[in-house]
Amino acid sequence: RECVAPSAALRDPSSLKSWVPYAEDCPFPIQNLPFGVFSTEGKEPRCGSAIGEYVIDLSKLESVLPEETKGVFNSGELNGFMSMGNKIWSKTRLALQTFFSKANESAPLAAKDKQTQYLIKMIDVTMHVPARIGDYTDFYSSRNHAENVGIMFRGKENALKPNWLHLPVGYHGRASSIVISGTDIRRPRGQILQDNKMPPAFKRSERMDFELEMAFFVGPGNKLGDPISIEEAHDNIFGLVLMNDWSARDIQKWEYVPLGPFLAKNLGTTISPWIVTMDALNPFRTPNEPQEPTPLPYLQDPKLSAYDIKLQVGITGSDSKQESIVSNSNAKYLYWSFTQQLAHHSISGCNMRPGDLLGSGTISGKQADEFGSMLELSWNGKKPLKLSSGGSRNFLNDGDTVRISGYAQGEGYRIGFGDCIGTVLPAHK
């Protein structure tokens, strides 16, 4: 085997250096090593990682990876690897860090004439949805967002529903319409109630919106009838991606009573291409927002924490080449944690499976420039949002490109996800 024994430096992220060159603000340093699925011209999709400006073809590095993973990275989905559990995930990432560390640059497989076997320039690959997503659930876990929406439609005194501070509210979404970054999203048509005294009309949505979210992929999961405990939840979260839960607000307003969103959400959900592991994000754990009242015992996490991940949303109109930054938020603004979301989802005995995707819900801060949706930024269309590129928006226009980005900033390195991008196409006539 080509890898050398891990050194103490591998346990100190800030001191890690790689023989692969990259800038200090590169989102894919040796401290990251996320997982994804890619393809190159004429070849089938397969599993990879990322370092610097390169995709790592993991199917070509079996000799440096754990024996348990042999053959698993030849697949066009990460479900098999996700099912192996936290110990194998960590072991694999450590093997990659060891191989790509500066101390290992003299290894035979690291020689320049060998690198083309497994290092491919990112500009030469196509990224794919990284897993076979069997089920998708979206939560509503940011208190700031929930309160903003509540105030908007029910008033300040009734902003939060009675259950909100007791459990992570969620709904089951549509896995089939989850798409990879760069996929266009068609504006939907549907039933819209314009006048309470008149029947609904079937027309194009005029209130197309984005939602700034993060989401996590489930690992091994559980058997039907056997819940995942809050302690076990940590080892059942494979990693995080950025997510845009596209929403048609006027369709949503009419249809959501009494069972929640349906057609207003299943028009498309965009995720970023790279899944960042919880090991890579552990240095960025930060205290969670205070939870009052104290959650019920099954939601009390001894290791409760949020993650300091800076999030940003930019909009570029079809008539402009300049992007307007409209939101700067942070993953630490979530009230309910990822582990609490997973423990609650499975407490009924619901069986979670490798590759299932769970969204956080819109992540908003307290300040207006930290709001994670056009619904909030324009306050339901009553306060048009001015764009730095010129013009304004109440909601999204046809041709608008929405880019969600995010990173965690370490000492001398940055952990990124790749952008989450989509463009709004006109509705069908």
The catalytic residue positions are 145
Q: Which residues of 208-224 are buried (b: 16+ CB within 10 A; e: fewer)?
A: bbbbbbbbbbbbbbbee
Token pair for residue 411? 């000492």
Are 55 and 101 contacting, i.e. CB atoms less than 8 angstroms apart? no
Q: Are strands 269-271 and 178-180 parallel, antiparallel or unpaired?
A: parallel
What radius of gyration, in Å, describes the C-alpha atoms of the chain?
Answer: 22
Tell me, what amino acid is at 72?
Answer: V
Q: In angstroms, rounded to a whole number, what is the distance separating the alpha carbons of residues 279 and 181?
A: 24
Locate tokens 């407490």: which residue?
Answer: 347
**∠ at Cα 228 (95, 66), nearest 5°?**
15
Q: In angstroms, rounded to a whole number, what is the distance separating the alpha carbons of residues 79 and 93?
A: 16
**∠ at Cα 296 (292, 302), nearest 5°?**
80
At 185, give phi and psi (nearest 5°): -120, 125
Are 249 and 265 contacting, i.e. CB atoms less than 8 angstroms apart? no
At 57, give phi and psi (nearest 5°): -80, 100
Locate tokens 């402009």: which residue?
Answer: 320
Closest CA to 140 of 156, 173, 164, 166: 164
Are 329 and 135 contacting, i.e. CB atoms less than 8 angstroms apart? no
Q: In angstroms, rounded to a whole number, what is the distance separating the alpha carbons of residues 43 and 61?
A: 17
Locate tokens 């993060």: which residue?
Answer: 214
In a 3-state reduction of DSSP, which class is residue 58?
helix
Locate tokens 């509540």: which residue?
Answer: 150
143: CB partners within 8 A, 6+ apart: 160, 164, 289, 335
At 321, give phi and psi (nearest 5°): -95, -5
| DSSP result, 29-75 | -TTT--EEEEE-TTS--EEEEEETTEEEEGGG-GGGS-GGGTTGGGS
